[in-house]
Amino acid sequence: MKKILISHPISPKRLEELSSDFQVDCIQSIKTKYDEVLDRVQDYDAIHCIGLKADQRIMDKGHHLQIISNYGVGYDNIDVYYAKSKGIAVANTPISTSRATAEYTLGLILSLLRKITINDRQIRQGLLNDWSLSGQSGNSLSGKTLGIFGMGRIGKEVAHMAKVFGMKVIYYSRTQLDATADQLYGARYVSFDQLMSESDIVSIHAPMTAETYNIIDEQKLKLMKPTSWLINTARGGLVDHNALIQVLQEAKIKGAALDVFPDEPLVPEALLSMDQVILSPHNGTGTKEDRAAMFEESFGNIIAFFEGREMSGRVC
């Protein structure tokens, strides 16, 4: 019987439900999960990876390890190249995370442009004495150019939703979509520099890799309009946050909405006092429905792998 280790505590009832065809165990402590996984992994064929850094040490000790299935679409917490060299499959959850993250992205755009969060904060703090339209007016989404960096599943969902708000969509991605897809999403392919300079809103949806680390750097940020906004619901490491703080302080861009940060849960101190910035705790998939769907998809990848079926998101 194949043995699966879940790197996070789950309820005894759910654990029993999952153990009908496999031996399934889970880590009981969130704080010491890495050490516990490292101590136990040698006995398991699969790791269901929830908030765990699956590195070379874990893989070297996992003598029977055949698959690591990540609870999430991002997999920068897993050393994919080393896994591939050892013949260990890696999977993620592209289906269950796409619409949820796209919804959250549009929510951040609305909150930022329409000043929803800042107005709420000012009312609660007793700072909003002038309720006149001139004092609190934001910006409409209709007619704005949304630039999508990374046109995968999430980027496509964002493009689809943006059309409802009357936005124009341009995108840059490693691979250009075919003409039919461009027409379907109402999107136009442009160069990276064009994306940064032509967009009213730049929304990041690329994976975090060695090649994309700090890819939105000072040079790219300074291409943006002073009236533009940056949205990041992908990974914090895609953006050079020192450069971002500088362009925000110098009003080189109008604002930003950030759901992710380079050293989570730490947030750069300089961002905390900026009213033109919305801060969010990596919550793009943060609904009960979507988190449940993510669990089913990620655990389902392990079952599919052992049964010889296609996984929903095979990384390697």
Residue 111 belongs to domain with CATH number: 3.40.50.720
Q: In the prediction, which pLDDT does 122 show? A: 87
Tell me: do 149 and 21 sit in the same domain. Answer: no
Q: Is 264 a catalytic residue?
A: yes
Give me the chain's average pLDDT, please. Answer: 95
Q: Is 16 a catalytic residue?
A: no
Percentage with pLDDT > 70 across the chain: 99
Based on the domain organization, do 108 and 85 belong to the same domain? Answer: no
Domain assignment of residue 314, yes or no: no
Same domain flag for 58 and 118: no
Confidence of residue 136 (pLDDT cuts 50, 70, 90): confident
Q: What is the pLDDT of residues 301-310, one digit of tens each?
A: 999 999 999 9
Range of the domain at 73: 3-95+287-306
Work out the average pLDDT over 3-22: 93
Same-domain status, 271 and 159? yes
Q: Establish if 260 belongs to a structural domain.
A: yes
Is 128's pLDDT higher than 90?
no
How far is 116 from 160, CA to CA, in rounded Å? 23
Residues 160 and 72 placed together within one structural domain of the fold: no
> Span 209-223, mean pLDDT?
97
Look at residue 134 in the predicted model and tell me its pLDDT: 58
Is residue 69 classed exposed, middle or buried when 0-12, 13-18 and 19+ CB atoms within 10 A define those classes?
A: buried
> 16, 17, 250, 264: which one is catalytic?
264
The catalytic position among 99, 205, 235, 241 is 235
Evaluate whether 193 touches 223 at the Cβ level (below 8 Å): yes
What is the pLDDT averaged over residues 263-292?
96
Whether residue 102 sits in one domain with residue 176: yes
Question: Are residue 136 and residue 256 in the same domain, yes or no?
Answer: yes
Q: Which residue has the higher pLDDT, 44 or 128?
A: 44
Number of domains in the chain: 2
- Domain assignment of residue 294, yes or no: yes
Comparing 48 with 128, the larger pLDDT belongs to 48
Model confidence at 181: pLDDT above 90: no
Residue 135 has pLDDT above 70, yes or no: no
* Whether residues 118 and 23 fall in one domain: no
Render pLDDT for 40-59 as a digit per residue (tens, 0 to 9): 999 999 999 999 999 999 99
Q: ∠ at Cα 235 (25, 41), nearest 5°?
A: 20
Residue 311's pLDDT band (cuts 50, 70, 90): very high
Pairing of the two strands 89-91 and 67-70: parallel
Q: Which of 57, 282, 291, 314 is catalytic?
A: 282
pLDDT tens-digit readout, 228-268: 999 999 999 999 999 999 999 999 999 999 999 999 999 99
Indicate if the pLDDT at residue 137 is higher than 90.
Answer: no
On whether the pTM is more than 0.75, the answer is yes
282 is catalytic: yes
Residues 246 and 273 occupy one common structural domain: yes
